[in-house]
Amino acid sequence: MPDVLLLALLVVAIAAGWWLGRRERRDRGAASAPPPLPHDYFVGLNYLLNDQQDQAIETFIGALEVNSDTVETHLALGNLFRNRGEADRAMKIHQNLLARPTLTTEQSERVQLELSRDFLALGLLDRAERLLEGLVRDTQDDELRGSARRLLIDLLEREREWQAALDVALPKLARQHDDIRRAAAHWLCELAEEERHSASPVLARRHLRQALATDARCVRANLLLAAMAHDTGQYKQAIKLLRRIPEQDATFTPLMLEPLAHAYRLLDDEEGLIRCLRELLDQAPSSAVITLLAKTLYHQGQDQDAIALIREQLERQPSLEAIHQLLSLSRHHAREEDERIELLERHTLTLVRARPRHRCRRCGFATETLHWQCPRCRNWGTTQPIDAPDRD
């Protein structure tokens, strides 16, 4: 919003406050002359006429009287400033309001909530945390407590205080809101990752089981449990855990393919891998599964089966990845080197690699690496692998 509009709002707010005061005096039958407009009002106008907008805004805010009628105006102004990226100005307004002893408890709590939002916007996390903890503990207003809890969770997430975030969210908030339940499962996974690396596998497994109990669709928990089984040489157990992922959420199937193939290869069981991949394809079509199956068949010497699989995939759902793989298999299969195929293979590979591999289903943010928490919209578990059939 341009400053001109903000200034106009301020002038109107001051004039309205003055007019209300004047009417109140008249209604009470006060005989004295109406109160004059505040001195600051004219100073502000003077700044405005001299094109000094910043000083005019500061002066007008000073002129805006704080009483029960203007608390809403102050709150609206503070929010307006914060939304414009001027959280320091919003903070001054809210601190000025809080210093007034005339505020009711309800008004004071609303101002504290807004002030904590200012602190968060300014990166003053300690101050925001203290204020929000006090509100969560003391307020009698359920709606306000819910807002304070959500802000506190947001803050604790930024500070990577996973256990503290869980303490605030579990069990009530997570039961009421799907997004918080999904996030809580990821915080438990974050704890498990830290514990796994600090040699506390028992604790890590406990947190991962808790993550699955909190959100049965948390594929990350099964991926981590499988990785831990893999670390201790329990490859069959790792396969069993990985195979649960397509049942949890088929869009995450591409994530489990690499560790799955690795585990089968360590068991020296390529046939088992082929069988498993065929079963996965029966459950749901997936370009990533077809690609891995074709590669595995090719390595097993079943060249024709591999090529037939990709051709079939291309007929059903054309994609750049499938074209690249067909070229790649054809080049290796050809008896003589064909420079044209090699050239096409190289360039299709460049095009495939230039595409993002993951996308947030909530905000559309596309990225090469998988982020369990979307960097743009900050939702957990919404960034998914892009499987070729959905992409084209």
Complete edge-to-edge strand list for the sheet that includes strand 366-367: 366-367, 358-360, 383-385
Element (H, E) at 82: helix 71-83
Residue closer to Zn ion (CB basis): 89 or 186: 186
Pairing of strands 383-385, 366-367: unpaired
Q: Which is nearer to Zn ion, 234 or 373 (CB)?
A: 373
7-15, 129-137, 198-206, 367-375 -> range binding Zn ion (CB under 5 A) = 367-375
Which lies closer to Zn ion via its Cβ, residue 298 or residue 380?
380
Asked if residue 374 binds Zn ion (CB under 5 A), the reply is yes
Rounded-to-integer distance, Cα 310 and Cα 121, Å: 51
For 284, other C-beta atoms within 10 Å of its C-beta total 12
| Shortest spacing between CB 385 and Zn ion, in angstroms | 15
Give the shortest CB-9-to-Zn ion separation in angstroms.
33
DSSP 317: S
CB of 364 to Zn ion, least distance (A): 7
- Taking the complex as a whole, the smallest distance from the CB of residue 36 to Zn ion amounts, in Å, to 54
Q: How many residues does the chain have?
A: 392
Nearer residue to Zn ion within complex by CB, 135 or 218: 218
Binding residues for Zn ion, rule CB under 5 A, total 7
* CA separation for the pair 98, 127 (Å, rounded): 15
Phi-psi region of 218 (alpha: psi -120 to 50; beta: other; left: phi over 0): beta
Cis peptide bond upstream of 171, omega within 30: yes
Q: Which helix (H) or strand (E) holds 105?
A: helix 105-122
Task: Determine contact, residues 137/123, Cβ cutoff 8 Å.
Answer: no
Under rule CB under 5 A, residue 380 binds Zn ion: no
Separation between Cα atoms, residue 309 and residue 326, nearest integer Å: 9
Minimum gap (Å) between residue 190 Cβ and Zn ion: 18
Per-residue x/- track, 332-361, Zn ion (CB under 5 A):
----------------------------x-
Angstrom distance (rounded) from CA 81 to CA 363: 26
Q: Which of residues 276-305 bind Zn ion (CB under 5 A)?
A: none
**Segment interacting with Zn ion, rule: CB under 5 A, options 235-243, 265-273, 290-298, 365-373:** 365-373
- Interface residue with Zn ion, options 9, 37, 170, 363 (CB under 5 A): 363
DSSP string, 228-281: HHHHTT-HHHHHHHHTTHHHH-GGGHHHHHHHHHHHHHHTT-HHHHHHHHHHHH
Q: Is 158 in the site for Zn ion (CB under 5 A)?
A: no
365 binds Zn ion (CB under 5 A): yes
Among 8, 12, 15, 377, binds Zn ion (CB under 5 A): 377
Given the complex with Zn ion, which of 213 and 377 has the nearer CB atom? 377
Least distance in angstroms from the C-beta of 383 to Zn ion: 7
CB of 282 vs Zn ion, minimal distance in Å:
32
Region at 34 (left for phi over 0; alpha for psi -120 to 50; beta for the rest): beta
The Cα 358–Cα 374 span in angstroms is 10
Residue 249 or 305 with smaller CB distance to Zn ion? 249
374 is in an annotated binding site: yes
Residue 71 within binding range of Zn ion, rule CB under 5 A: no
Q: Which is nearer to Zn ion, 240 or 362 (CB)?
A: 362
Q: Which of 158, 362, 371, 391 binds Zn ion (CB under 5 A)?
A: 362
Cα–Cα separations (whole angstroms), residue 315 to 211, 304, 319, 367, 388:
41, 16, 10, 28, 14
Q: Find the shortest distance in angstroms from Cβ 231 to Zn ion.
A: 31
Q: Quick one: which segment of 22-30, 291-299, 338-346, 369-377 binds Zn ion (CB under 5 A)? A: 369-377
CB of 118 to Zn ion, least distance (A): 25
Residues whose CB is less than 8 angstroms from the CB of residue 211 and which lie 6 or more positions away in sequence, other chains included: 184, 185, 186, 188, 189, 192, 218, 220, 221
- Give 69 or 368: the residue with its C-beta nearer to Zn ion: 368
Residues that bind Zn ion (CB under 5 A): 360, 362-363, 365, 374, 376-377
Binding region for Fe cation? 360, 363, 374, 377
